[in-house]
Amino acid sequence: MVIVIMKQLHKILTVGLAVLPLLFSCQSSRDRLHADVSSVRVQPVKIHRYDLDLFRINPSELQSGLEKLQPEYRFFLEADLQDTANLNQIKLYLGNRRNVEFHEAVTTQFKDLTGLESDLTEMFRHFKFYYPQYQLPRVYSYISGGDYSQPVRFADSVLLIGLDNFLGKDFPAYQADGLPRYLTERMTPGHLLPKVVKAAGSQLLPQNQGANVMELMINTGKEVYFVRAMIPAVDPALILEYERAQYEWITKNEGAVWSALIENQLLYSSDGRIMRSFFSDAPYSTDFSPEAPPRLGAWLGYRIVNQYMENHPEVTLQTLMAETDLQKIFTGSRFKPSK
pLDDT tens-digit profile of 93-124? 999 999 999 999 999 999 999 999 999 999 99
Q: Which stretch of 14-28, 180-194, 257-271 has the lowest confidence by average pLDDT?
A: 14-28
**Domain range annotation of the chain:** 2-34+206-333, 47-202
> Distance (Å, rounded) from C-alpha 167 to C-alpha 186?
10
**pTM given for the model:** 0.89
pLDDT tens track for 6-50: 444 555 444 444 333 333 444 445 568 999 999 999 999 999 999
d(CA 222, CA 323): 10
Task: Work out the pLDDT band at 271, boundaries 50, 70, 90.
Answer: very high
Is the separation of the CB atoms in 67 and 54 below 8 Å?
A: no
pLDDT value of position 205 = 78
Across the range 225-245, mean pLDDT stands at 95
Is pLDDT of 1 > 60? no
